[in-house]
Amino acid sequence: MRSRHRSVARVPRHPFRQSVARAHASRADRGEDDDIKLFVLSFTAFFICFYTLIF
């Protein structure tokens, strides 16, 4: 009795899928933009908390 499950390498693929390159997940580089956004968010939160305590 043959198993219905075949390895991925042996499965016949559709011709269109064979012609398209495989997509690989790429890791996004953490840029300086993220650091600036975090700084602005932290500074704003601190300013709001400090301003609330004064008034």
In a domain, 37, yes or no: yes
| DSSP letters spanning the chain | ---S---GGGSPPPHHHHHSPPP---PPP--HHHHHHHHHHHHHHHHHHHHHHH-
Torsion angle of C-alpha atoms 45, 50, 51, 55, degrees rounded to 10: 140
In a domain, 54, yes or no: yes
Q: What is the pLDDT of residue 5?
A: 59
Q: What is the pLDDT of residue 8?
A: 57
- 53 or 10: whose pLDDT is higher? 53
In a domain, 42, yes or no: yes
Residue 55: domain span: 31-55
- What percent of the chain lies above the pLDDT cut of 70? 67
Domain count within the chain: 1
In a domain, 5, yes or no: no
- Which residue is it, tokens 């500074």? 43
- Which residue is it, tokens 């975090």? 38
